[in-house]
Amino acid sequence: GLSGPAALKLSSFAALDLAACNYQGVLELNLAPTLTRAEASSALSSAKASQPAKAVANFNPFALPKRLWGAIVAGGDSAKELSGGTASRGGGGCAIDPLKAWGQLSKAELRALEERTCRGLLAFAGKDSNKDEFVTAGGVRWAGVATKRMESKHVPGLFFAGEVLDVDGITGGHNFQSCWTTGFVAGNAAARHCKVKDDSSIDETYPV
């Protein structure tokens, strides 16, 4: 499966779109984002010229993790695992013998490596439930909430906090802080609301 900070951030930024497609689709992944396609092609050609006797799996011109580069090179089961079992355009995992020397690579194999690195396809067909997730998207819309006390504008005495609200953020503690802050505000406002109801001598108003 796909996990880690990048996958979690993407699941936040595209939460509604992912829900709309029932978490089924294909991601297009560029594993060399700092390079143009021409530069990536040049890096592969340079590797062939400078490391002709070295095994393709043992020399990685893009500084990718070893297992990831191995999956790109070898194809087969590793590439299927990486791409969710679907073939990527441009030759999938390239199906190159990892022990093959760089100097023996054909132009087609170099192009396949370039395509797989710069425009690989990763299929996804669902999501884990209550495992790696740390927040949910959607909820009560902010337009209907008096944020200075986290009270409903439509139902007096109804207060909201945490994930019931339509607010979510990326990793880094933002979601915890949102829960703590809205909980603090809602809790204090709810206590004041109850006190006003119990003591008719108190005439307290709250800003909207």
Per-residue pLDDT tens for 57-113?
999 999 999 999 998 998 644 344 444 444 334 444 568 999 999 999 999 999 999
Any domain includes 3: no
Share of the chain above pLDDT 70, in %: 81
Any domain includes 101: yes
Give the residue numbers spanning the domain of 29: 24-125
* 99 plus 146 within the same structural domain: no
pTM exceeding 0.75: no
115, 156 contact by CB (below 8 A) = no
Any domain includes 100: yes
Query: Is residue 131 scored above 70 in pLDDT?
Result: no
Any domain includes 53: yes
* 121 plus 181 within the same structural domain: no
* 163 plus 101 within the same structural domain: no
Three-state SS at 179: helix
**Structure-token pair, residue 170:** 């990326």
Higher pLDDT: 22 or 53? It is 53
Element (H, E) at 121: strand 120-125
Share of the chain above pLDDT 90, in %: 53
* 103 plus 156 within the same structural domain: no
* 81 plus 53 within the same structural domain: yes
Higher pLDDT: 205 or 103? It is 103
Structural domain ending residue among the three candidates 97, 125, 153? 125
| Block residue for tokens 């990486």 | 82
Query: Is residue 198 scored above 90 in pLDDT?
Result: no
69, 77 contact by CB (below 8 A) = no
Any domain includes 41: yes
* 94 plus 170 within the same structural domain: no
Any domain includes 208: no
**Structure-token pair, residue 111:** 């192009």
The predicted pLDDT at position 208 comes to 46
The predicted pLDDT at position 79 comes to 40
Fill in the DSSP letter of residue 100: S
Query: Is residue 194 scored above 50 in pLDDT?
Result: yes
Number of structural domains (the chain) is 2
* 116 plus 191 within the same structural domain: no
